[in-house]
């Protein structure tokens, strides 16, 4: 895996934590409205695994996910990337939204690299 500065590591971890909070909020709202939550649950689980992988690689925290769950998380987050890229392309240069999406894309890419090295 390529060398990543401590600042970028912190930004990626914060981005994943932010995404997890947003997914948890969406899941709660969807459950109250009776909407199908399967996709959001898969993405939330994948983000939890992604965060754990990055913390394992960068901070040597234990990683307790079996290979099948890691592969599924990689698949889900890789599938999420085009959507984030599309939103990034539509966002205005210099906007807070663009910064957030840029960090999210970096975090997703770093997760993919990290999981490929495990």
pLDDT of amino acid 62: 96
pLDDT tens-digit profile, the chain (118 residues)? 778 999 999 999 999 999 999 999 999 999 999 999 999 999 999 999 999 999 999 999 999 999 999 999 999 999 999 999 999 999 999 999 999 999 999 999 999 999 999 8
As a three-state string, the secondary structure of 33-68 is: HCCCCHHHHHHHHHHHHHHHHHHHHHHCCCCCCCHH
pLDDT of amino acid 32: 95
Distance CA 12, CA 38 (A): 25
Contact 79, 55 (CB under 8 A): no
What letter does residue 5 receive in the DSSP assignment? -
pLDDT of amino acid 3: 86
Distance CA 49, CA 114 (A): 12
Distance CA 49, CA 67 (A): 11
């Amino acid at each position: 895996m390529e060398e990543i500065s401590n600042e970028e590591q912190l930004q990626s971890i914060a981005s994943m934590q932010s995404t997890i909070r947003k997914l948890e909020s969406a899941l709660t709202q969807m459950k109250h409205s009776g909407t199908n939550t399967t996709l959001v649950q898969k993405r939330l689980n994948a983000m939890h695994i992604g965060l754990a992988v990055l913390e394992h690689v960068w901070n040597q925290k234990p990683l307790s996910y079996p290979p099948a769950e890691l592969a599924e998380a990689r698949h889900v987050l890789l599938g999420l990337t085009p959507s984030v890229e599309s939103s990034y392309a539509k966002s205005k240069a210099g906007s807070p939204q663009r910064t957030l999406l840029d960090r999210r894309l970096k975090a997703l890419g770093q997760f993919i690299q990290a999981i490929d090295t495990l």
